Chain A
Amino acid sequence: MAHQIRVEVNGEVQEREVEARKLLVHFLRDDLGLTGTNVGCETTLCGACTVWIDGQPVKSCTQLAVQADGTRVTTIEGLADGSKLHPMQEAFWEEHGLQCGFCTPGMILAATALLDTNPNPTEGEIREALKGNICRCTGYHNIVKAVQKAAQGGASNG
């Protein structure tokens, strides 16, 4: 059975029909073409699929699209202001917080959400906040440095 849902994605209202079993990540990628959100493990462990629902990071491989009806979803595509990168994106760029880039959208959304609630996190708090995001390339050091840099620059959600 199809369900009509209405979701505000990156500031734009989207009204679509979805099957109940459609996962939010597939709604974003396949129906809306927002392929910045990656699918890694599909088992709620890697965090590559992290998006914000009403400003809070969640793993979109473990959410139904119907559950997002009536919410505000933000994906990595929604972070930059036109061609101007978000300060967290800028910091990842400058500190080499990525190599292959697969984990990066999820990392950036998880990290930015941290600074919203804790603008001056310690290194330990940064690592703790990124516990649900796995990176197979960087060894995490530069990711932590990037978040520290963004924190110094006052980066947060808005």
Chain B
Amino acid sequence: MFPASFEYHRAGSTQEALDLLARHPEAKFLAGGHSLLPMMKLRLAQPPAVIDIGRIAELSGIALEGGTIRIGATTRHGELAASQTLREHCPILAEAAGHIGDPQVRNRGTLGGNIAHADPASDLPAVLVALDATVDVLGPNGERQVRAADFFVGLLSTALGEDEIITAVHVPFFASGVGTAYLKAEHPASGYAVCGAAAVVTMSGGVCADTSLAFNGISDIPVSASAVAAALVGTSLDDAAIDAAISSHLSVPDPLGDVYASGEYRVQLAKVYGARALKAARDRA
């Protein structure tokens, strides 16, 4: 099983990648290839040309930048999971990346590819939404920043323009007092998220000062449970408060359903995993 014929170009820099894209508007970027190549092998995608961005040094790496952590688009899942900076200052991203697929998949798949592909069952989209991350996007008209909540617009579709490339993602640099957790009910065959819950909690003097909760896998795009979060701010975030907020304020418009898990079941998973993720994040704050 192999892809239909295509032209292969390898970009040495981000600018060269954009120039190649301008010359081959139908081309697809190839980062880790772990979403694109399977689709090309199944002939679900048949791009006439592929632009390999996997070797562009400036697109990869994790660094502190202006109070946030900047992660290059082609940083691999395995690097996210192992990053000391992330484990100390934004542990939820390392935790979620460590739950992706298997070690071989994590050695190839990249952050930028994961969010550009925007599979509803992916692990990283809801984490970025819960973190209120921003995505740096570069195109012929320069750079723009897109909030994660605005980046995912539909099933496998994003706010990325056809002539643009994702260069980096910015996530917060957390000091003490913040706890995070990502919990996943994974599909037993594919390993993708049937439901993934991402929770971020800021505690101050025994009171919840801020929180966010978002889900993968239960809808076409990540679901942000902002009503649950709003109901929890100012509480002591004890188990009873969390359970009550989830049962009265979690609503999921158009839940996804398939032969493995119905929409109703996924919403039930979201309630259980959402509550567990909030409790785990609180305990780590």
Q: A62-B33, A64-B8, A64-B33 are in contact. Are A21 and B105 (CB under 8 A)?
A: no
- Tell me whether A75 is interfacial, beta carbon within 8 Å: no
B103 touches A57 (CB 8 A): yes
A150–B168 Cα distance when bound, in Å, is 40
For B139, the chain A residues whose CB sits under 8 A away are none
With A57-B103, A58-B104, A110-B104 as known contacts, state yes or no: A44 contacts B5, CB within 8 Å: no
Q: Is the CB of B101 within 8 A of A26?
A: no
Contact of A63 among B33, B101, B102 (CB under 8 A): B33
Q: Which of these, B1, B41, B104, contacts A59 with CB under 8 Å? A: B104
Q: What is the number of contacts between chain A and chain B, taking CB atoms within 8 Å?
A: 77
Whether A42 contacts B101 by the Cβ 8 Å rule is: no
Report the interface size class on chain A: 20 to 34
Q: Are A20 and B5 in contact (CB under 8 A)?
A: yes
Chain B residues near A121 (CB, 8 Å)? none
Of chain B, the residue at the smallest CB distance from A51 is B104
Q: With an 8 A cutoff between CB atoms, is A34 at the interface?
A: no
Contact A66 B8, beta carbon cutoff 8 Å: yes
A26 vs B41: C-alpha distance when bound (angstroms): 13
Partner of B103, one of A26, A63, A113: A113
Q: Which residues of A contact B101 (CB under 8 A)?
A: 132
Interface membership of chain A positions 39-68, coded 1 if the CB is closer than 8 angstroms to chain B and 0 otherwise = 000111101001001001111001110110
CB neighbours of B105 from chain A (8 A)? 44, 59, 132
How far is B45's CA from A21's CA once the two chains are assembled, in angstroms? Answer: 13
Q: Determine the distance from Cα of A55 to Cα of B105 in the docked complex, in whole angstroms.
A: 15
User: Does A57 lie within 8 Å of B5, measured CB to CB?
Assistant: no
B146, CB-defined interface residue at 8 Å: no
